[in-house]
Structure 1
Amino acid sequence: MVTVYITAPPTAAEHIARTLVEERLAACVNRVACDSVYRWEGAIQEDEEVVLLAKTTDERYDALTERVVDVHPYDVPCLERFDERDSFEPFAQWRDDVVTDEE
Structure 2
Amino acid sequence: MTTQFKLIFTTCKDEAEARMLARALVEKKLAACVNILPNVGAIYMWEGEIAEAIEAKLLIKTKSDKMNDVFLTIKAMHSYEVPEIQVIDVATGNLAYFNWMDEVLN
For the superposition of Structure 1 and Structure 2, which TM-score range results when normalised by the shorter chain?
A: over 0.9
**What amino acid is aligned across from residue 88 of structure 2 in structure 1?**
F
What is aligned with 2:76? 70
**What amino acid is aligned across from residue 41 of structure 1 in structure 2?**
E
| CA distance in structure 2 between the partners assigned to 1:96 and 1:64 by the alignment | 16
In the alignment, is residue 50 of structure 1 matched against residue 61 of structure 2? no
Residue 24 of structure 1 deviates from its aligned partner by: 0.6
**What amino acid is aligned across from residue 13 of structure 2 in structure 1?**
P
| CA distance in structure 1 between the partners assigned to 2:105 and 2:54 by the alignment | 29
What is aligned with 1:6? 10
Runs of 5+ consecutive residues of structure 2 not aligned to the other structure: none
Residue 97 of structure 1 deviates from its aligned partner by: 1.0
What is the TM-score normalised by the length of structure 1? 0.93
| CA distances 1:6-64 after superposition (whole Å, capped 9, x unpaired) | 11111311111111011110000000020111110010111110110000000101111
Question: Aligned residue pairs: how many?
Answer: 100
| CA distance in structure 2 between the partners assigned to 1:5 and 1:49 by the alignment | 13
Q: Stretches of 4+ moved more than 4 A in 1?
A: none
What is aligned with 1:36? 42
What is aligned with 1:27? 32
What is aligned with 1:17? 22
Residue 76 of structure 1 deviates from its aligned partner by: 0.5
* Cα-Cα RMSD: 0.8
| CA distance in structure 2 between the partners assigned to 1:35 and 1:99 by the alignment | 32
| CA distance in structure 2 between the partners assigned to 1:15 and 1:9 by the alignment | 12
Give the 3-state SS of the residue equivalent to 2:65 in structure 1.
coil
